[in-house]
Amino acid sequence: MAFFVKFKEEIRFKAGLRLMIGWEGNELREPLKLIEEFSPAGLIFFRRNYPPGGANELRDQLAALQRRALELTGRPLILALDNEGGLVKRLPPPHIQLPGANEQAERGAVLTRSMAFSSGQELKELGFNLNLAPVLDLMVPEAIMAKRAYGQEPERVIHLAQAFVSGFREAGVFCCGKHFPGLGAALEDPHQVVSTVNLSQAQLRDHLKPFAALIEKGLAAIMTSHCLYPGLGLKEMATFSPEIMALLRNELNFEGLALSDDLEMGAVANQQKIGQAALEALRVGHDLVLICRKRPLIEETHRILVESLVVGPLKSERFGPSFTRLESFLQGLKNDF
């Protein structure tokens, strides 16, 4: 009996280790419940989660979450947020308000690194350890990412994005580049619908250059996109494409964490059940899947992953490379304590 209890608990932890999840409110009890019930690898913070007590309350909340995770699982939490600057930042004033990528580009790499370091120091002091930025997509003027991208030329994007990453890393915060293999030419927003990147294979090679360059510099994590890439001869969106993951792992030799974008976005949620989408994203090679808001979807997904780790397509991966990468990353975080 003791063996089966231990096995059940191990599988529950393994399922949670593949999740980064969010919550609705700004009270500590909600994310604490998520930790206690699902043992996720990480939590993702949004503006809606900012507590009324400001920075001091937020710092106390994040510290309490880390303590509880360590008590229950022996491993620290990834505590993440999107802090690109400009249109995408989660902390209100008086916290540091980074300018957007366009303005960072105008100020240059030296100032971008300095601003990133200052912001990173603040995030680190609050308790965050992963910034879901920078955007590595090339800017296409009429496309949805135009205001969030550093520029149209790969070399310019590489130069500025590396400055951004270096500043945060020097402050003790890891970065996640996005949205692989490039969202820059998408005309429709994946938050609403499945978008198509209508570029040829040769054009897409240019869009891969920033990812390749930052991978060579040791980028910790990469997020894929909910987009279709017919120029690569693929029928599935990147989230569910083994070919996209092979491109990332085998051709670009990426050894860090591969994250899905939020599975609650319309591009996915309007097409299929979130639990099955999570299973498929993990099956093709993602290390973590993001479910950023709705508790019932987290419950559904965790249940499906537990079943899959016992008798389904993830059974053979219980001790596979994704778990090795996750455990290595989390061990690096634990060294900070």
| 191 labelled catalytic | yes
Of 60, 189, 191, 206, which one is the catalytic site residue? Answer: 191
What residues contact residue 156 under an 8 Å CB cut-off, 6+ apart?
Answer: 105, 150
Amino acid 69 reads A
Contact 322, 282 (CB under 8 A): yes
In terms of DSSP H, where are the helices of the chain?
Answer: 2-16, 29-38, 54-73, 101-107, 109-126, 154-171, 201-216, 242-246, 266-269, 274-283, 295-311, 321-334
Contacts 24+ apart (CB under 8 A), 304-313: 304/275, 304/276, 304/278, 304/279, 305/15, 305/18, 305/19, 305/275, 305/278, 305/279, 306/11, 306/12, 306/15, 308/279, 309/11, 309/14, 309/15, 310/11, 312/279, 313/279, 313/283
Q: Is 79 left (phi over 0), alpha (psi -120 to 50) or beta?
A: beta
CA gap 291, 289 in Å, rounded: 7
CA gap 64, 268 in Å, rounded: 33
| 261 labelled catalytic | yes
Query: Within 10 A of 170 (CB to CB), how many other CB atoms are there?
Result: 13
Q: Measuring CA to CA, which residue among 94, 77, 93, 96 is closest to residue 85?
A: 96
Of 82, 95, 159, 261, which one is the catalytic site residue? Answer: 261
Bond preceding residue 190 cis, omega within 30 of 0: no
User: Which are the catalytic amino acids?
Assistant: 191, 261
